[in-house]
Structure 1
Amino acid sequence: MRRVCKPGGFVCAREVEWPSLVLYPRIQYLQESRELMEKLAYNAGKTLRGGRGREFARRAGFSPESISASAASVTYANEADRNWWGENMAWRLESSSDLKKGVELGFVTEEAAAGMPNAWREWAKATDGFYCAIDGQVVCTK
């Protein structure tokens, strides 16, 4: 993004700081799905560590003075947000090869993989369902 950014332009990025995730209630396979996504990201050479945004921007060639870092809290607690996020997570798991790959790599059992999408749907229906995570964000000026 830095390469194609015009002088005076901005590059903005935001990523979840995955260990900051708070999920309630505790539903079987919900936490396992979070752990699976993190393991698959690392296995692919990616990271779910938004707190490293400054580091990645600097390594991409931005000077430290041109990088502004901050954080935002993302929360899904009301019924509409829970329904949207729960179904989004279930769909992501079902429509990708993540579950199959997780089983193949030994990150999860077939039973756990099969239960993960429905765990997100169950979470979405929980009256007291709560999801909160911190996103690290950077704005870089070229």
Structure 2
Amino acid sequence: MTRTPSIPGVHAGSAPRVRAAAGLLVYLLAGLYFGVVLVKSEAASWYRIQEMFRFQSFHMFGLIGSAVLTGLVTTQLLRRSGLNSRDGQTITVTPKEKGWRRYVLGGLTFGTGWGLAGVCPGPIFVLLGSGVWPTLIVLAFALLGTYLYGVLKDRLPH
């Protein structure tokens, strides 16, 4: 009979919890890295975002373009690889629905909020972590908008 080695302080039935905690640690570290990249690339800078909307600088367009290119390549690799998730399920990328209205209305809504707040949802927590406390107002309205979408989603074009 083989016996699995025990970890001091960890009970035999808690191995899935330890694995889940280790997985969460990986996500935390990836999120911290992403936050540092956002700050160092100035993607979380209100001034850089305003320069972009005023067509005064290529900086943000270059960052967004590289993100789109990275997303395209990653999506194609995921579609072709047949990789499994941590739970053992095959990762699939579902195709987008046809039509233009939902994308135009969603883009206009997102862009209006981005232009008014000077920040998209990605860097909200990065800015809070950097001590930019007025971003709490942006977070509150982002949460309100998400809630309102949940309430109104059956009446919106999809």
Larger % of helix: which? Answer: 2
Bigger proportion of residues as strand: 1
* Normalised-by-shorter TM-score class: under 0.3
Computing the radius of gyration from Cα coordinates, the structure with the larger value is 2
TM-score normalised by the chain length of structure 1: 0.28
Q: Which has the higher contact order (CA 8 A, sep 6+)?
A: 1
Per the normalisation by structure 2, the TM-score is: 0.26
